[in-house]
Structures are given as C-alpha cells and as structure tokens.
Amino acid sequence: MKKALALVVGLAALGFSTAAVANPMVGKWKWDAFTIDCKEGGANGTSCTVAEGPKNVGMEMIKSKLEQKGNEYVGQVAHPMTGETYNAKMTMDGADSWKMDGCTAAGACASGVFSRVK
C-alpha cells in the first residue's frame, strides 16, 4: 500500500513539474509599474492579465496562441500601458525572468524584461 501511494505521489509530482516546464510563463510577473498574472487556459492556451498598474487593470495581454520556437515564444501580445498589440518574441532567462521584444503592425517597437514576483 505504501509503495502504491508513493508511486501515485511520484507520478503526480512528475506531472506537475512537466506542466511547469511546458509553460514557464505561469506565475506573477513585474514590469515597470505593472504586475502581470499568467495562468494556463483562456482562449489562447495561456492567459496573462494586468493584475496591478496605472492603466488597463484586468486587460488580457495574450492576443494569439503563443508558439514555441526553440527557446523563444512568439505571438501577439498587448502592451500593458497602451493596449496596442505587438508581434512579440519572448525569451526565457532562467526561471525568474523573460524578455519580450516586438513591434506593432504600424512599426512601433518596444521591449522589456519581466521579473517573477516572489
């Protein structure tokens, strides 16, 4: 019985860690005056909303499915301050930060580093 319980707990832990690796964006992130809350789910598979900030609190930032290409994730992401949609590339820098670079269809470009809230 103890071995069976240990196996179930071990498999559950493995499943949890696999899910965490599959979507490293899940968590709370800080960028400038904004706190962004990212979760699994939503219309595009990942949902990141502005949790705190000077503008657009509650706004969904992920505007398209994020596609993984090597160490990068690409897709359409709304800027938390302006709400403009950027064709963005996100690169994870360890477990606690990621960098986003992107441009709008009109050619305005922006970048930033998001840090995990501890």
pLDDT tens-digit profile of 51-109?
A: 999 999 999 999 999 999 988 999 999 999 999 999 999 998 888 999 999 999 999 99
Give the pLDDT confidence of 97-106 residue by residue, as tens digits.
Answer: 999 999 999 9
- 3-class secondary-structure state, position 24: coil
In the sheet with 85-92, reading across from the earlier edge strand, the strands are 46-52, 34-40, 27-31, 109-116, 97-103, 85-92, 72-78, 67-69
Name the nearest CA neighbour of 77 among 66, 89, 63, 91: 63
Alpha helices in the chain (DSSP H): 2-22
Burial class of 113 by CB neighbour count within 10 A (0 to 12, 13 to 18, 19+)? middle
pTM score, whole prediction: 0.76
Model pLDDT, residue 19 = 39
Q: What are the residues facing 78 on neighbouring strands?
A: 85
Q: Which residues contact residue 104 at a Cβ distance below 8 angstroms, ignoring those fewer than 6 apart?
A: 84, 85, 86, 87
Domains of the chain: 25-116 (2.40.128.20)
Give the pLDDT confidence of 12-66 residue by residue, as tens digits.
Answer: 333 333 333 457 889 999 999 999 999 999 999 999 999 999 999 999 999 999 9
* Contact between residue 117 and residue 27 where contact means Cβ atoms under 8 Å apart: yes
